[in-house]
């Protein structure tokens, strides 16, 4: 049995042509819906992710993009990770500490830098307008996550030409292939 995918979008959510939305339609899963997609706070966004995790049955794999990646890090810092969270695919983490970032992301500036309590793969672009590859590598190292480059892929969103994002599906497949179900306890 494969884990249920929980999609964690970033600012503005992920529109109908974004790979997260297309993947959810293709693979199923649950989408985290925030009260205000343009006013993220680590507390409220992590709390909503926690609610979704608690309400979803089975083993879980988090699939996050952009500010959604920071939501996963905030969740891991604020809540005892559910043993059902088997791992995370963290795509295009933004560098919200940069001075040129939109004001809406300022509340996210205290990026948690502790190791994540579950395996994670950080997927980063070498020409992301919201983070250098070096910064993505620093975050991956702090989170004790694996890092993979997808070359020059922009922010890995619709604007950078990533709708279906077949390369991402391959990475998701690799994460799912590496996933090990918890031991079955027999009575």
- Which residues does 5 contact at the CB level (< 8 Å), separation at least 6? 23, 24, 27, 28, 29, 30, 60, 61, 63
Q: What is the pLDDT of residue 106?
A: 85
Average pLDDT over residues 33-51: 95
Q: What is the pLDDT of residue 182?
A: 46
Query: CA 101, CA 122: separation in Å to the nearest integer?
Result: 21
Q: What is the pLDDT of residue 184?
A: 39
> If pLDDT is split at 50, 70 and 90, which confidence band does 66 have?
very high
Report the chain's mean pLDDT, rounded to a whole number: 90
Q: What is the pLDDT of residue 123?
A: 97
Residue 111 clears pLDDT 80, i.e. is over it: yes
> If pLDDT is split at 50, 70 and 90, which confidence band does 174 have?
confident
Average pLDDT over residues 114-122: 94
Q: What is the pLDDT of residue 108?
A: 87
Q: Is 27 exposed, middle or buried (0-12, 13-18, 19+ CB in 10 A)?
A: middle
CATH number for the domain running over 4-178? 3.40.50.1820
Average pLDDT over residues 165-186: 72
Q: What is the pLDDT of residue 50?
A: 96
> If pLDDT is split at 50, 70 and 90, which confidence band does 138 have?
very high
Average pLDDT over residues 100-117: 89
Q: What is the pLDDT of residue 176?
A: 82
Picking from 60-74, 152-166, 168-182, which range would have the lowest pLDDT averaged per residue?
168-182
* Domain assignments of the chain as residue spans, ordered by start: 4-178
Calculate what percentage of the chain has a pLDDT beyond 90.
Answer: 76
């Amino acid at each position: 049995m494969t884990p249920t995918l929980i999609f964690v979008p970033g600012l503005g959510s992920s529109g109908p042509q974004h790979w997260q939305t297309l993947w959810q339609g293709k693979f199923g899963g649950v989408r985290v819906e925030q009260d205000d997609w343009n006013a993220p706070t680590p507390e409220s966004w992590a709390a909503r992710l926690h609610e979704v995790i608690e309400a979803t049955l089975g083993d879980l794999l988090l699939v996050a993009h952009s500010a959604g990646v920071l939501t996963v890090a905030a969740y891991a810092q604020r809540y005892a990770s559910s043993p059902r969270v088997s791992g995370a695919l963290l795509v295009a983490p933004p560098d919200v500490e940069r001075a040129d970032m939109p004001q809406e992301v300022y509340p996210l500036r205290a990026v948690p830098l502790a190791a994540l309590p579950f395996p994670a793969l950080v997927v980063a672009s070498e020409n992301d307008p919201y983070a250098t590859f070096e910064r993505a590598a620093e975050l991956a190292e702090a989170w004790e996550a694996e890092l993979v480059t997808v070359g020059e892929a922009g922010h890995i969103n619709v604007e950078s030409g990533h709708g279906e994002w077949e390369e991402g599906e391959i990475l998701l497949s690799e994460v799912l292939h590496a996933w090990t179900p918890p031991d079955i306890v027999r009575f």
